[in-house]
Each structure stands twice: as structure tokens, then as C-alpha cells.
Amino acid sequence: MPKLTIVTRDGAESTVEGRVGWSVMENIRDSGFDELLALCGGCCSCATCHVHVDPEWIDAVGPANADESDLLDTSDHRIETSRLSCQIEFKPELDGLRVQIAPED
């Protein structure tokens, strides 16, 4: 299984086996990281699954779509590599992906 590295808000880093076809948000939530709220359940209607993608991975992950970008604009913690983890499909090509859970707004 492909690996996904998750960095918590306090900087603790864990690598988990990611499930292909699931969103990064689902993989994080299923791995027991409860600081990622994901209140809307992956419907792209909140920004509580905001992550910062490692700069080395941003091209592979791709850009945010317009709806996602609008939601990210509501965050004080948006940076160039911000994405909503519910909008990133975890694929075999993302083996080794590293994301950090963004600070809470």
C-alpha cells in the first residue's frame, strides 16, 4: 500500500498506509487523527480539513478547483501549498505524500 505522511499541528509526524481511492481526508481521519475535524464529511462545504501539502508534492497533487479555492480564502492560514484534504484523491502516484494539518481558524 502507498504511504501517507501526516504532520500534526504540534509537529509530530506519522506515516500510515493510505487507501487508494479514498480522499486524503478520509485516510487521515481513519488513521485516528482527530485534530482534522472534516465537519462536512468531504462535501467541500467547509475548510476544516485544510492541510499544507509538502512543496515537493504540490505539483503531483495539483491545484485547487474554484470552489475549494474560495473556501481556502476564508482561512487565515492559507499558504501557496494549501489544499482541502477532502479534495485530494489518494492514488498510487502519491505514495510518500506528506501533508501537515493546518492551524485551526
1 against 84, higher pLDDT:
84
Q: Give the start-end residues of each E strand in the chain.
A: 3-7, 13-17, 50-53, 82-84, 97-101
pLDDT band of residue 47 (cuts 50, 70, 90) is: very high
| pTM for the model | 0.96
Do 97 and 5 contact (CB within 8 A), yes or no?
yes
Do 96 and 26 contact (CB within 8 A), yes or no?
no
**Ordered domains of the chain (ranges, CATH):** 3-101 (3.10.20.30)
pLDDT band of residue 50 (cuts 50, 70, 90) is: very high
Average pLDDT, the chain: 96
Do 46 and 98 contact (CB within 8 A), yes or no?
no
% helix, strand, coil for the chain, step of 5: 25, 25, 50
State mean pLDDT over 60-66.
97
The per-residue pLDDT for 18 is 97
The cell for 13 is 509526524
The per-residue pLDDT for 30 is 95
Closest CA to 60 of 38, 78, 83, 44: 83
